[in-house]
Structure 1
Amino acid sequence: MAKLSAVAVYTAGFLQGCAFVLIPALGTILAAPPYHLSSSTYGVLFLPQTLGAIFGALTADTLHQRIGSRGLFRTGVAANVLALLLLAGAAYSSGTLAHALLLMETLFLGVGFGLTLAAVNHYAALLFPRSATMAVTLLNAGIGGATALSPLILHGIAAWTSWGVWPLMLAAGFGLVLFLPLPASTAKTGESPRWQAAMLLFALAAFLYAIGEGIFGSWANIYISVNKALPAHYGALALSAFWGSMTLFRILLALVPERVIAQRWLYLAAPLGMGACFAALPFLSSAWTLIGAFALAGAACSVYFPFSMSYGLAAFSGQQTRMAGLMVAALMAGEGIGSFALGPLQSLVALPRIYLFSALLAIPLFVLGWRLSARAKTS
Structure 2
Amino acid sequence: MATRAQNAVVYGAAAVQGIVLVTFPAASTILTGPAYYGLSSTKYGFLFLPQVILAITTSLAGAWLSSRAGTKPIYLAGLGCGLLAMVLLLISQRYMADEAVAYPLLLAATAFVGAGFGLTVPTLNLLTAAFHPARVDASVLVLNAVLGIGTVLAPVFVAIFVGLGFWQGLPITSAVMLAILIAVSARLQLSAGARRTASQRSTRTPIPARFWIYAVFAVLYGICETVNGNWAQLDMTGTHDASTTQASLALTAFWAMVTLGRVLFALVQKHFPPARTFHLLPFALTAIFVLIAILPKGSPGWAIAAFGLAGLGCSALLPLTISFGQEELTALSATIAGGVIACYQLGYGIAAFGVGPLLDAGVKLPAVYAAAAAVAAAMGLLSFVVSRRPQMNPAT
The TM-score range, normalised by the shorter chain, is: 0.7 to 0.9
Q: Does 2:243 align with 1:242? A: no
Q: What are the within-5 Å matches in structure 2 for residues 128-167 of structure 1?
A: 128-153=132-157, 156=160, 159=164, 163=169, 165-167=172-174
2:374 paired residue number: 360
Letter in 2 for 1:173: I
Q: What are the within-5 Å matches in structure 2 for residues 230-309 of structure 1?
A: 234-254=246-266, 256=267, 258-285=269-296, 286-309=299-322
Letter in 1 for 2:3: A
Structure 1 pair 182–206 and aligned structure 2 pair: CA distance change class (3 A):
same
> Quick check: 108-117 or 347-356, which moved more?
347-356
1:161-203 Cα offsets, whole Å, 9 max, x none, are 7636324313313313232222363321321211222111101
Identity of aligned residues (%): 31
Give me the whole-angstrom Cα distance separating, in 1, the residues matched to 2:36 and 2:128: 40
Q: Does 2:112 align with 1:108? A: yes
Q: Does 2:49 align with 1:47? A: yes
Letter in 2 for 1:220: A
Shift of 1:26: 4.3
Shift of 1:300: 1.1
Q: What are the within-5 Å matches in structure 2 for residues 1-379 of structure 1?
A: 2-27=3-28, 36=37, 38-39=39-40, 43-90=45-92, 100-153=104-157, 156=160, 159=164, 163=169, 165-176=172-183, 177-183=185-191, 185-189=193-197, 190=200, 191-228=203-240, 234-254=246-266, 256=267, 258-285=269-296, 286-346=299-359, 347=361, 349-375=363-389
Q: How many residues align?
A: 378
1:103-145 Cα offsets, whole Å, 9 max, x none, are 4332222111101111011111111122211111111111122
> Quick check: 176-185 or 193-202, which moved more?
176-185
> Quick check: 289-298 or 332-341, which moved more?
289-298
Does the CA contact (< 8 Å) of 1:157 and 1:166 recur in 2? no
Letter in 2 for 1:178: A
Does the CA contact (< 8 Å) of 1:207 and 1:330 recur in 2? yes
SS at match of 2:276: helix
> Quick check: 10-19 or 287-296, which moved more?
287-296
Structure 1: state its 5+ residue gaps. Answer: none
Structure 2: state its 5+ residue gaps. Answer: none
Structure 1 pair 100–78 and aligned structure 2 pair: CA distance change class (3 A):
same
SS at match of 2:316: helix
Give me the whole-angstrom Cα distance separating, in 2, the residues matched to 1:2 and 1:236: 37
Structure 1 pair 78–204 and aligned structure 2 pair: CA distance change class (3 A):
same
Letter in 2 for 1:14: A
Give me the whole-angstrom Cα distance separating, in 2, the residues matched to 1:311 and 1:321: 13
Give me the whole-angstrom Cα distance separating, in 1, the residues matched to 2:371 and 2:111: 33
Give me the whole-angstrom Cα distance separating, in 2, the residues matched to 1:350 and 1:41: 17
Give me the whole-angstrom Cα distance separating, in 2, the residues matched to 1:29 and 1:220: 14
Does the CA contact (< 8 Å) of 2:29 and 2:233 recur in 1? no
Does the CA contact (< 8 Å) of 2:11 and 2:146 recur in 1? yes
> Quick check: 218-227 or 136-145, which moved more?
218-227
Give me the whole-angstrom Cα distance separating, in 1, the residues matched to 2:380 and 2:46: 34
Does the CA contact (< 8 Å) of 2:224 and 2:375 recur in 1? yes
Does the CA contact (< 8 Å) of 1:246 and 1:302 recur in 2? yes
Does the CA contact (< 8 Å) of 2:44 and 2:353 recur in 1? no
Does the CA contact (< 8 Å) of 1:67 and 1:186 recur in 2? no
> Quick check: 11-20 or 235-244, which moved more?
235-244
Structure 1 pair 3–340 and aligned structure 2 pair: CA distance change class (3 A):
same
